[in-house]
Amino acid sequence: MLPLALAVYTRSPAAFAALHDLNILHLPCSKVLSKILKDGSEKAGIDEEYLQSQHEKFKRYQEQREMTNHPRPLGFGVMMWDEVKVVTF
Protein backbone atom coordinates (compact mmCIF):
# COMPACT_ATOMS: atom_id res chain seq x y z
CA MET A 1 0.00 0.00 0.00
CA LEU A 2 2.97 2.31 0.52
CA PRO A 3 3.79 2.71 -3.20
CA LEU A 4 0.16 3.63 -3.92
CA ALA A 5 0.09 6.09 -1.04
CA LEU A 6 3.34 7.70 -2.21
CA ALA A 7 2.11 7.93 -5.80
CA VAL A 8 -1.08 9.71 -4.77
CA TYR A 9 0.63 11.90 -2.15
CA THR A 10 3.34 13.14 -4.52
CA ARG A 11 0.82 13.88 -7.25
CA SER A 12 -1.73 15.59 -5.01
CA PRO A 13 -1.45 15.92 -1.23
CA ALA A 14 -5.07 17.14 -1.17
CA ALA A 15 -6.28 14.00 -2.96
CA PHE A 16 -4.27 11.88 -0.53
CA ALA A 17 -5.83 13.69 2.44
CA ALA A 18 -9.31 13.08 1.00
CA LEU A 19 -8.59 9.37 0.52
CA HIS A 20 -7.09 9.13 3.99
CA ASP A 21 -10.14 10.78 5.56
CA LEU A 22 -12.53 8.36 3.83
CA ASN A 23 -10.95 5.45 5.77
CA ILE A 24 -11.58 3.07 2.87
CA LEU A 25 -7.91 2.16 2.49
CA HIS A 26 -5.40 1.60 5.25
CA LEU A 27 -3.04 4.48 4.42
CA PRO A 28 -0.11 5.85 6.41
CA CYS A 29 -0.32 9.40 7.68
CA SER A 30 1.05 12.21 5.54
CA LYS A 31 3.91 12.84 7.99
CA VAL A 32 5.28 9.35 7.30
CA LEU A 33 5.09 9.89 3.55
CA SER A 34 6.67 13.31 3.84
CA LYS A 35 9.58 11.82 5.80
CA ILE A 36 10.09 9.05 3.23
CA LEU A 37 10.19 11.58 0.41
CA LYS A 38 12.50 13.89 2.36
CA ASP A 39 14.91 11.03 3.07
CA GLY A 40 14.97 10.19 -0.63
CA SER A 41 14.33 6.51 -0.07
CA GLU A 42 11.78 6.46 -2.89
CA LYS A 43 13.14 7.61 -6.22
CA ALA A 44 11.31 8.31 -9.42
CA GLY A 45 12.10 6.20 -12.45
CA ILE A 46 12.98 2.59 -13.10
CA ASP A 47 14.57 0.53 -10.33
CA GLU A 48 17.32 -1.16 -12.32
CA GLU A 49 18.44 -3.36 -9.40
CA TYR A 50 14.94 -4.81 -9.13
CA LEU A 51 14.76 -5.47 -12.87
CA GLN A 52 18.17 -7.16 -12.77
CA SER A 53 17.09 -9.38 -9.87
CA GLN A 54 13.96 -10.38 -11.77
CA HIS A 55 16.07 -11.19 -14.82
CA GLU A 56 18.29 -13.46 -12.71
CA LYS A 57 15.23 -15.22 -11.26
CA PHE A 58 13.89 -15.79 -14.75
CA LYS A 59 17.21 -17.26 -15.92
CA ARG A 60 17.11 -19.71 -13.00
CA TYR A 61 13.52 -20.56 -13.90
CA GLN A 62 14.53 -21.26 -17.51
CA GLU A 63 17.29 -23.59 -16.34
CA GLN A 64 14.95 -25.37 -13.94
CA ARG A 65 12.39 -25.95 -16.69
CA GLU A 66 15.05 -27.35 -19.03
CA MET A 67 16.36 -29.71 -16.35
CA THR A 68 12.85 -31.15 -15.89
CA ASN A 69 12.55 -31.84 -19.64
CA HIS A 70 10.17 -28.97 -20.36
CA PRO A 71 10.63 -26.57 -23.28
CA ARG A 72 12.84 -23.58 -22.47
CA PRO A 73 10.69 -20.46 -21.89
CA LEU A 74 11.46 -17.94 -24.63
CA GLY A 75 11.85 -14.90 -22.40
CA PHE A 76 9.64 -12.50 -24.31
CA GLY A 77 7.62 -10.09 -22.21
CA VAL A 78 5.84 -6.80 -22.02
CA MET A 79 6.47 -4.07 -19.50
CA MET A 80 3.60 -1.69 -18.78
CA TRP A 81 3.24 1.39 -16.61
CA ASP A 82 0.10 3.03 -15.41
CA GLU A 83 -0.53 6.44 -13.94
CA VAL A 84 -2.54 6.95 -10.77
CA LYS A 85 -5.14 9.67 -10.96
CA VAL A 86 -7.52 10.47 -8.13
CA VAL A 87 -10.55 12.67 -8.62
CA THR A 88 -12.38 14.03 -5.60
CA PHE A 89 -15.78 15.66 -5.62
Question: What string of H, E and C letters represents the secondary structure of the chain?
Answer: CHHHHHHHHHHCHHHHHHHHHHCCCCCCCHHHHHHHHHHCCCCCCCCHHHHHHHHHHHHHHHHHHHHCCCCCCCCCCCCCCCCCCCCCC
- Which pLDDT does position 72 carry in this prediction? 84
- Which pLDDT does position 66 carry in this prediction? 93
Quote the number of domains for the chain. 1
- Which pLDDT does position 35 carry in this prediction? 81
Q: Residue-wise pLDDT tens for the chain (89 aa)?
A: 678 888 888 888 898 888 889 888 888 888 888 887 777 655 666 678 878 888 899 899 999 999 999 988 887 776 666 665 555 65
User: What is the extent of the structural domain holding 63?
Assistant: 2-67
Any domain includes 41: yes
- Which pLDDT does position 38 carry in this prediction? 76
Any domain includes 84: no
- Which pLDDT does position 69 carry in this prediction? 92
